[in-house]
Structure 1
């Protein structure tokens, strides 16, 4: 029997793309599911899949992840339906591209609001429920390989994913004393419709600094996603990473060259000069505190000096 059997999980954006892959992988482990959605057709498709495969029907929750009141209502609905929450998978996001030097406030507010703000809203609303239950659990924050790799057309998207990475790496230390695992997931090219986010821009963020969307050009870009990994495979790799409580779950293997370049460039950028003993000691204490936190000790500011 799976260690996740009977656990209750919320997956945001859980009815299509990577979110639906996660939902199916969680269902295979025997988890009970709450899935947030915005597209009613995708919701119906997901409901049909669960019925056809003999799984318990998920609790479907209409939710815009930027809506804090909506998140609060979703938490109450989960409380009523399941009486608890064990796993949170913050997955919902938008993929929007354009030259960063031309971006408007609306571009920043929309992309950061969904990709980073949506994660924040999930954590603030749902973490107290997981902690209060006292049974451990797991938080999965889905970022992207853009959390490590930047590009000329993805400045705000990259910033949002770097932010999710930094938040998740720090949060892992805070959750360890509660027996709650925390994983950063960084998928790469996956067979989804994520490429069409720019066609779904909310009216409230209409004032883009980017050039008007060329649908034909965007659809051509979308053809690249056909070569992507099956979302279910991504979901299954996430479950394996959760089982091992991995800090980082990489789902795609094709980035060794990139990481080698990042490592070599980073080390080469460090000044080659003596370091005062007092500064060395502060960094020793930081590393020691990090290791202790990862092992489950609650760390305070006093532990850093």
Structure 2
């Protein structure tokens, strides 16, 4: 594991954080980085063996055990109960990290309603449920507060076998980038994190599909093929390093946290395509004025000034 950057303790020690999908993969890396920064934790989980392994890690470090909350992030009633449980345990909650998700691939043109409902329900709906359940608690808390939604590099870079997954991550990106302007005037930080290849077991998602969403247009998930696909993840970044970069980004109040440096060529190509697609013509003064008002409203919101609809016209 990487050494933690300086300054964490002064920024985050004693802050209470709730992290979804937090006993494996990136969620666990976030939880470990947060624990090293002295934060108090509540972690959601689904699998008892993964929870036991996480408990063993906390014991090995001599840290207090987090509050473990068994949670399906699509269960709104349970999410609301968990938010109450966290406040009952710690008195306040200051940080929310929406991390839980499923990574499932297949040709989008063959997808069924169940394919869309399952993947979007977890990857986007789970974020929505976290926000609706926890934002009132975070707003009622005091001091340094932050919301981080973990999407994926797929929020910028689509792929032919990942249409629904990509749609869910684009949705998280749009929601988070808009939410930041709402939370800044309330003194609450908001970050979108888009990690790329990370050493996780995300490839096993297709083997955990709920029976309630069994009607799929994708080919049957074959464990051998998935395990071969999973070998790519062995080349990925250590989840703790991702968690450390997330904490550094939160400390810096970064709206966008990009953890992997290898995607520079992708962003350069994307920028070139966007600029090339713009019509080469003059825009009327009225439209130019409205767009400048929008830009100014965004700048003001980031600076902590609450903006109204009237400010856009």
Residue by residue over 1:124-144, the C-alpha shift from the partner in whole angstroms, topping out at 9 and shown as x without a partner, is 000000001243400010000
Alignment map for 1:202-221 (pairs within 5 Å): 202-221=210-229
How far does residue 168 in structure 1 lie from its aligned partner after superposition?
A: 0.3
Corresponding position of 1:94: 102
- Provide, for residues 170-201 of structure 1, a one-character-per-residue CA deviation record: whole Å limited to 9, x for no partner: 00000001111000000100000001100000
Give the counterpart of 2:164 among 128, 142, 156. Answer: 156
**Which residue pairs with 1:9 in the alignment?**
17
* 2:60 corresponds to: 52
1:181 aligns to 2:205 (yes or no): no
Instruction: Give the TM-score of the pair, scaled to structure 1.
Output: 0.99
Of 263, 279, 297, which aligns to 1:255? Answer: 263
Name the CA distance, whole Å, in 2 between partners of 1:111 and 1:179. 32
User: The residue matched to 1:165 in structure 2 has which SS?
Assistant: helix
Structure 1, unpaired ranges of 5+: none
Counterparts of residues 1-305 of structure 1 (less than 5 Å) = 1-305=9-313
Report if aligned partners of 1:130, 1:136 keep a CA contact under 8 Å in 2. no
Question: Structure 2: where are the runs of 5+ without partners?
Answer: 1-8
Q: Is the Cα contact below 8 Å between 2:108 and 2:162 reproduced in 1?
A: yes
Structure 1 residue 214 displacement after superposition: 2.0
State the Cα deviation string for residues 85-144 of structure 1 (Å, max 9, x = none): 000000000000000000000000000000000000000000000001243400010000
RMSD: 0.7
- Corresponding residue SS for 1:33: strand
* CA distance, structure 1, for counterparts of residue 142 and residue 234 of structure 2: 42
Distance 2:54 2:13 in 1: 20
Deviations 1:26-72 (A, max 9, x none): 00110000000001000000011001101111000000000000101
Q: What count of residue pairs does the alignment treat as equivalent?
A: 305
Q: Is the 8 A contact 1:141 1:185 kept in 2?
A: yes
> Does structure 2 conserve the Cα–Cα contact (< 8 Å) formed by 1:9 and 1:86?
yes
Distance across 2 between alignment mates of 1:77 and 1:274: 57
Which whole-Å CA distance do the structure 1 matches of 2:105 and 2:175 have between them? 23
1:248-284 deviations in Å (ceiling 9; x for gaps):
1001000010000100000110011111000000001
d(CA) in 2 for partners of 1:131 and 1:53? Answer: 32
User: 2: CA distance between counterparts of 1:129 and 1:123?
Assistant: 10
Give the TM-score of the pair, scaled to structure 2: 0.96
Moved over 3 A (4+): none
Deviation at 1:83, TM superposition (A): 1.0
Compute the displacement of 1:301 (Å). 0.7
Q: Is the 8 A contact 1:134 1:178 kept in 2?
A: no
Counterpart CA distance in 1 for 2:222 and 2:107 is 15
| SS of match in other structure, 1:70 | helix
